[in-house]
């Protein structure tokens, strides 16, 4: 009996204690939700940047292919002429042509005339050969540029697909977090903005058109990579709004920041842009004091929302 009791005590001492893991608090879940949303937005904006680059690269490839065709035809034509010259040169054996002229000339004056004509023909052939070399060199240079551009297109498509898969995976994780936050009583999941606000009246027709367009999109769902007309991501919305007045912005928050005139908060006018987060992965449109129109993140919609307290890194004014 004593032995049994000692054994039980030993088991009790040696058995590992069960560690109790407390469920994360609502504030912890919401903090994780904010972090995940920001990281997803950064990935989406990176995808937008590469997609813009792909469009540009494909346009460059098409332009190079257009330029290449006449060069290719020119090389083929001059190449055929050079080939005929080479055959003729081989058949006449070079210097034998001059000897033949001497033997067949009826007079010294006739000989001079024929030798002069031969020299002109030789110059013409040399010019043709030089032209072929120049055309070939230009063709080879453009062909190399085209091949490199097409290789870049392939690489960019691969990069886009890799990022697309990551985005789709991140969206699923984000949705799981939202479900947990909702179950814990969070009010942040559905956003804090409004979708029925009215556009302010502006004394600038251009800015009025831009802002009116932004407000007309309120309530439309967020979709990564989208620039309308029924869905938007953040930079897609600002790009589409300014396109209404002929201003072309890239579909990427950081690229937009690089193209606008940088201003201070005190200089903001309706239609100006507000940029967020280190590395600039989000953008919204300033519309009235303390407010912006924004396409926030996956699962939400275009809304008028306060920008106070958010990590702003700069302000910008599109050039018009």
Catalytic residue at 294?
yes
Among 170, 255, 272, 294, the active-site one is 294
Is residue 235 packed enough to be buried (19+ CB in 10 Å), middle (13-18) or exposed (0-12)?
buried
DSSP SS3 for 218: coil
Among 49, 170, 272, 282, the active-site one is 282
| Number of helices (H), then strands (E), in the chain | 7, 6
DSSP SS3 for 75: helix
Q: What distance in Å separates the CA atoms of residue 201 and residue 308, rounded to the nearest whole number?
A: 22
Catalytic residue at 234?
yes
Contact 202, 270 (CB under 8 A): yes
Q: What distance in Å separates the CA atoms of residue 304 and residue 192, rounded to the nearest whole number?
A: 9
| Parallel, antiparallel or unpaired: strands 312-317 and 261-263 | antiparallel
Among 49, 234, 255, 272, the active-site one is 234
**Per residue in 43-57, is it b (16+ CB within 10 Å) or e — as a string?**
bbbbbbbbbbbbeeb
Catalytic residue at 140?
no
Q: What distance in Å separates the CA atoms of residue 309 and residue 47, rounded to the nearest whole number?
A: 27
The structure tokens 């690489």 sit at: 155
Q: What distance in Å separates the CA atoms of residue 149 and residue 167, rounded to the nearest whole number?
A: 26
Contact 30, 186 (CB under 8 A): yes
Contact 284, 302 (CB under 8 A): no
The structure tokens 């009025």 sit at: 208
Known catalytic residues? 234, 282, 294
């Amino acid at each position: 009996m004593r032995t049994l009791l000692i054994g039980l005590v030993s088991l009790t001492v040696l058995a590992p204690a069960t560690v109790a893991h407390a469920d994360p608090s609502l504030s912890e879940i919401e903090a994780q939700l904010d972090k995940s949303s920001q990281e997803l937005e950064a990935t989406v904006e990176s995808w937008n940047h590469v997609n813009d680059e792909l469009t540009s690269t494909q346009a460059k490839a098409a332009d190079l292919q257009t330029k290449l065709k006449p060069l290719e035809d020119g090389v083929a034509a001059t190449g055929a002429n050079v080939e005929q010259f080479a055959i003729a040169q081989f058949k006449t054996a070079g210097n034998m042509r001059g000897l033949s002229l001497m033997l067949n000339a009826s007079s010294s004056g006739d000989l001079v005339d024929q030798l002069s004509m031969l020299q002109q023909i030789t110059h013409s052939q040399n010019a043709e050969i030089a032209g072929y070399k120049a055309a070939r060199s230009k063709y080879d240079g453009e062909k190399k540029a085209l091949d490199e551009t097409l290789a870049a297109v392939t690489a960019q498509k691969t990069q886009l697909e890799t990022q697309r898969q990551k985005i789709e995976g991140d969206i699923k994780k984000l949705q799981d977090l939202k479900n947990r936050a909702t179950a814990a009583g969070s009010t942040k999941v559905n956003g804090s903005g409004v979708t029925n606000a009215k556009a302010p009246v502006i004394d600038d027709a251009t800015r009025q058109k831009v802002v009116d367009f932004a407000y007309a999109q309120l309530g439309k769902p967020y979709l990564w990579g989208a620039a309308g007309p029924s869905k938007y991501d953040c930079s897609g919305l600002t790009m589409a709004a300014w396109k209404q007045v002929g201003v072309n912005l890239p579909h990427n928050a950081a690229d937009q920041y690089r193209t606008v005139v940088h201003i201070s908060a005190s200089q903001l006018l309706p239609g100006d842009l507000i940029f967020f987060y280190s590395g600039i992965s989000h953008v919204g449109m300033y519309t009235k004091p303390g407010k912006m129109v924004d396409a926030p993140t996956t699962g939400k919609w275009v809304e008028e929302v306060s920008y106070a307290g958010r990590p702003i890194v700069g302000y910008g004014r599109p050039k018009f």
